Chain A
């Protein structure tokens, strides 16, 4: 991937190289797959969505006159007779970050055309994502059980419930969509669709291992967003 060679085109390092690529014909990002460039730009757009959510959250939290609940208490778990703050969230975060690691390895084995390892690692990533969503469902259930609703909250400002369910729900939807695609891609990898270039069900485009990297970009992004949500919701 790192050594792209293009006939009749000489790469230059650094800023000059960037300027030369920009000024050249055909492509701006030399050797970059269309789908990969698309995913980067989509993620930029998605970043703006999550930024809008988080900025609205900051505004809502900053201007509320009723006290915001203390996250260490609200998100704490009572295990073995002790109150551990943020225990569940710590596990969720660990699982999600680990799944990013397995995803990265899947991409590596994909480019090595190691079908078996690649498939298992994608499956591991999918299971990690599924675990995350499951734990999030558990957390939602716990909060709902304690009386937190989108429109009210026994611990303080009602906006806590609104923003919490909306933002984690939106993020959880991203994770769930990712999990669905991971399972599909795991199947496609095991079935050898990427080796033989089998055409997609809907898009009729030929399969290629680059698709795994594109999904990987999405997965890492969802992970990164979680880090921000974690910081703003649970640590603030």
Chain B
């Protein structure tokens, strides 16, 4: 207790439900939090190896399962990107890279990275592990459903990867799967490949719905005593809002995938117009390819925010912990997340400016798209203001955070180019677009994932990751990612089209060849640098520095479990009681520079802590 603040009577600590008289100081009921509304959760404790680690109903294990499987598919996506860059940088060097294979790899890389890697990792991985811990629940509310969710995802991945081994190989229609070419002969994988893709997506959506219901109800109905919505860490807000988006956007993908399968298998013509092929009219006719584009992008644009919102939430927490400051403008951050989520349903057709829409639609969608920049910019300002005059620890986690802010702003600015119809039309289908979305929804969320791994690994495994390896990993990834994507903006400006297998003798070649080689070399290095993390994890699992309780001196609940790593049921005998938000860092007058969420107000009555 500091003397400077002992005479301060205006601010005092209070619990949410209590108004303690007029005077300052400790009153008997200031720590009161009303009793629990519902009884203890009924948990199934596994005993055998299978029920404990395989068909497990513990959200933490399921989270790790999601994480590992998503990482595995992500590595496949990474290898595919290597093969693509091999072809683009050094055409002809690898004889097995035919045009068909190139398109198949483009498609699988895109779909894997967006859906099976990022979505599964953020929502399935971080969501499962962190939501129950952060809101103070014993587990997800429907553990059985949660287990089925993971295994549906497992089957979805298996079906997706099986398409590499069927006749014709995986689909090569681009990750957007646009009909009619997706199911017409001549496109690689037009028979089996696209069918398995559709089945896999349907399974993914079904599995995700089961998980998503869990996340939503756990946040809405299973918080611990004292945990109000406005005391939740922003990580939970981000994952929660992203889940809402997913529950409303995935239906469009499900319907699109189902109708496409029927077009493919039964010969219906939902998306297939009358087609003349080699002088012959095909049996299709009367369908609308644009309808698929609408369905796809009604899913596809919210999908961008399904990936981005958890990243926003997680990065807010990481920055706050490692800058030892409360997050600047917490409520504004929450409303920005919710606002971005709502707006994301009204912008989908900005992916379709060149599809032949009424120009007024373009005008409408350009306007809504640019409006999203407002809440997004607010968030960026708030991150920077959180850092400003903070007590910054420049560790690996913080490096990833700073890397995220830079790459995200960079990708956001190019987004403003592409959001405007008149600027977008000449830039459509060029490498500028590739650079934009890889920067904003590839590299930026990846930076968050990496930061989050370095941050929460001590919780999951009880040991720190190696800092030195971590810094190598960061700098190689950060500088390497810039080497890959920054030149791509230039390639786009000179008009190099995306999704081309080879440039042949086009006039761009002269200036694009050297740059493509450079980009490819950088891509090989960045890809290889990711294995530093895997090495780091394997190495530190056994030999890393033990982390102990709350190694980062964080305020939020997940660090306050009785055991590290937390056991099934998370909280031992008693659920925690929450008295404040998750961001009481560097409170003037407090003994330490953080006040945990469970610290009762009477213990910090004479500090300058605010009521939250």
A29-B286 CB under 8 A given contacts A56-B270, A60-B270, A150-B262: no
B545 CB–A CB distance under 8 Å:
no
Residues of B within 8 A of A65 (CB): 286
State whether B247 touches A44 (Cβ < 8 A).
yes
Residues of B within 8 A of A114 (CB): none
Residues of A within 8 A of B227 (CB): 25-26
Q: Taking the nearest CB of chain B, how far is it from the CB of A167, in angstroms?
A: 10
A151-B266 CB under 8 A given contacts A25-B578, A38-B213: yes
Contact with B along A161-183 (1 / 0, CB 8 A): 11100100010000000000000
How far does the alpha carbon of A26 sit from the alpha carbon of B250 in the complex, in Å?
29
Stretch at the interface among A69-77, A83-91, A201-209, A227-235: A201-209
Stretch at the interface among B29-37, B102-110, B396-404: B29-37
Residues of B within 8 A of A170 (CB): 258
Stretch at the interface among B62-70, B155-163, B217-225, B382-390: B217-225
Which of these, B252, B269, B291, contacts A151 with CB under 8 Å? B269
Which of these, A44, A162, A206, contacts B268 with CB under 8 Å? A162
Which of these, A29, A60, A161, A162, contacts B221 with CB under 8 Å? A29
Residue of A nearest to B295 (CB): A52
Which of these, A9, A45, A151, contacts B209 with CB under 8 Å? A45
A159 CB–B CB distance under 8 Å:
yes
Q: Taking the nearest CB of chain A, how far is it from the CB of B150, in angstroms?
A: 15
A79 CB–B CB distance under 8 Å:
no
How far does the alpha carbon of A8 sit from the alpha carbon of B42 in the complex, in Å?
24
Q: Taking the nearest CB of chain B, how far is it from the CB of A37, in angstroms?
A: 5
B144 CB–A CB distance under 8 Å:
yes
State whether B229 touches A56 (Cβ < 8 A).
no
State whether B144 touches A204 (Cβ < 8 A).
yes
Residue of B nearest to A205 (CB): B42
B25 CB–A CB distance under 8 Å:
no
Residues of B within 8 A of A63 (CB): 288
Contact with A along B473-512 (1 / 0, CB 8 A): 0000000000000000000000000000000000000000
Which of these, B36, B141, B144, B268, contacts A202 with CB under 8 Å? B144
Residues of A within 8 A of B267 (CB): 150-151
A-side interface size class: 35 or more
Chain B, range 430-474, C-beta contacts under 8 Å to A: none
State whether B142 touches A23 (Cβ < 8 A).
no
A48-B220 CB under 8 A given contacts A34-B141, A162-B268, A166-B259: no
Contact with B along A5-47 (1 / 0, CB 8 A): 0111100000000000011111111111011011001101110
Q: Taking the nearest CB of chain B, how far is it from the CB of A205, in angstroms?
A: 7
State whether B230 touches A23 (Cβ < 8 A).
yes
B287 CB–A CB distance under 8 Å:
yes
B13 CB–A CB distance under 8 Å:
no
Contact with A along B32-62 (1 / 0, CB 8 A): 0111111000101000000000000000000
Residues of A within 8 A of B213 (CB): 38, 41-42
Q: Taking the nearest CB of chain B, how far is it from the CB of A161, in angstroms?
A: 8
B226 CB–A CB distance under 8 Å:
yes
How far does the alpha carbon of A8 sit from the alpha carbon of B37 in the complex, in Å?
9
Which of these, B35, B286, B291, contacts A8 with CB under 8 Å? B35
Q: Taking the nearest CB of chain B, how far is it from the CB of A49, in angstroms?
A: 4
Chain B, range 213-262, C-beta contacts under 8 Å to A: 213, 216-217, 220-231, 247-248, 250-252, 254-256, 258-259, 262
Contact with B along A126-168 (1 / 0, CB 8 A): 0000000000000000000000001100000111011100100
B562 CB–A CB distance under 8 Å:
no
How far does the alpha carbon of A65 sit from the alpha carbon of B295 in the complex, in Å?
22
Residue of B nearest to A162 (CB): B268
B603 CB–A CB distance under 8 Å:
no
How far does the alpha carbon of A44 sit from the alpha carbon of B217 in the complex, in Å?
14
How far does the alpha carbon of A27 sit from the alpha carbon of B137 in the complex, in Å?
12
Residues of A within 8 A of B610 (CB): none
How far does the alpha carbon of A30 sit from the alpha carbon of B36 in the complex, in Å?
12
A26-B259 CB under 8 A given contacts A37-B217, A38-B142, A150-B267: no
Which of these, B144, B266, B287, contacts A150 with CB under 8 Å? B266
Residues of A within 8 A of B578 (CB): 25
State whether B33 touches A25 (Cβ < 8 A).
yes
State whether A25 touches B270 (Cβ < 8 A).
no
Contact with A along B260-299 (1 / 0, CB 8 A): 0010001111100000000000010111100100010010
B612 CB–A CB distance under 8 Å:
no
A64-B286 CB under 8 A given contacts A30-B37, A52-B255: yes
Contact with A along B19-34 (1 / 0, CB 8 A): 0000000000000011
Residue of B nearest to A204 (CB): B44
A66 CB–B CB distance under 8 Å:
yes
State whether B268 touches A151 (Cβ < 8 A).
yes
How far does the alpha carbon of A93 sit from the alpha carbon of B288 in the complex, in Å?
31
A56-B33 CB under 8 A given contacts A8-B17, A150-B268, A158-B286: no
State whether A27 touches B223 (Cβ < 8 A).
yes
State whether A159 touches B252 (Cβ < 8 A).
no
Q: Taking the nearest CB of chain A, how far is it from the CB of B397, in angstroms?
A: 30
B16 CB–A CB distance under 8 Å:
yes
Residues of B within 8 A of A78 (CB): none
Residues of A within 8 A of B44 (CB): 204
How far does the alpha carbon of A64 sit from the alpha carbon of B229 in the complex, in Å?
49
State whether B228 touches A48 (Cβ < 8 A).
no
Residues of B within 8 A of A32 (CB): 221
A53 CB–B CB distance under 8 Å:
yes
Q: Taking the nearest CB of chain A, how far is it from the CB of B32, in angstroms?
A: 9
State whether A159 touches B286 (Cβ < 8 A).
yes
How far does the alpha carbon of A161 sit from the alpha carbon of B141 in the complex, in Å?
42
State whether A34 touches B142 (Cβ < 8 A).
yes
State whether A37 touches B269 (Cβ < 8 A).
no
How far does the alpha carbon of A7 sit from the alpha carbon of B35 in the complex, in Å?
7
Which of these, A9, A45, A53, A56, contacts B247 with CB under 8 Å? A45
Residues of B within 8 A of A34 (CB): 141-142, 217, 221-222
State whether A37 touches B221 (Cβ < 8 A).
yes
How far does the alpha carbon of A206 sit from the alpha carbon of B44 in the complex, in Å?
11
State whether B36 touches A159 (Cβ < 8 A).
no
How far does the alpha carbon of A37 sit from the alpha carbon of B38 in the complex, in Å?
14
Residue of B nearest to A170 (CB): B258
State whether B17 touches A52 (Cβ < 8 A).
no
State whether A49 touches B270 (Cβ < 8 A).
no
State whether A159 touches B287 (Cβ < 8 A).
yes
How far does the alpha carbon of A7 sit from the alpha carbon of B36 in the complex, in Å?
8
How far does the alpha carbon of A206 sit from the alpha carbon of B144 in the complex, in Å?
13
Residue of B nearest to A51 (CB): B251
How far does the alpha carbon of A31 sit from the alpha carbon of B36 in the complex, in Å?
12
Centre residue among A38, A51, A63, A64 by max chain B CB count within 10 A? A38
Given contacts A26-B36, A29-B221, 14 further A-B contacts (CB under 8 A): A9-B34, A23-B228, A26-B37, A26-B38, A28-B229, A41-B216, A45-B212, A48-B247, A56-B270, A56-B291, A59-B291, A63-B288, A158-B286, A205-B42
**Can you list 22 contacts pairing A with B, beta carbon distance less than 8 Å?**
A7-B34, A9-B34, A23-B228, A26-B36, A27-B37, A27-B223, A28-B220, A34-B217, A34-B222, A35-B142, A41-B213, A41-B217, A45-B248, A52-B254, A56-B255, A56-B270, A60-B288, A60-B291, A65-B286, A150-B266, A161-B268, A204-B144
Residues of A at the B interface (CB closer than 8 Å) are: 6-9, 22-32, 34-35, 37-38, 41-42, 44-46, 48-49, 51-53, 56, 59-60, 63-66, 150-151, 157-159, 161-163, 166, 170, 202-206
Query: What 7 pairs across the A-B complex have the smallest Cβ distances?
Result: A8-B34, A48-B251, A162-B268, A52-B255, A49-B251, A203-B144, A151-B267
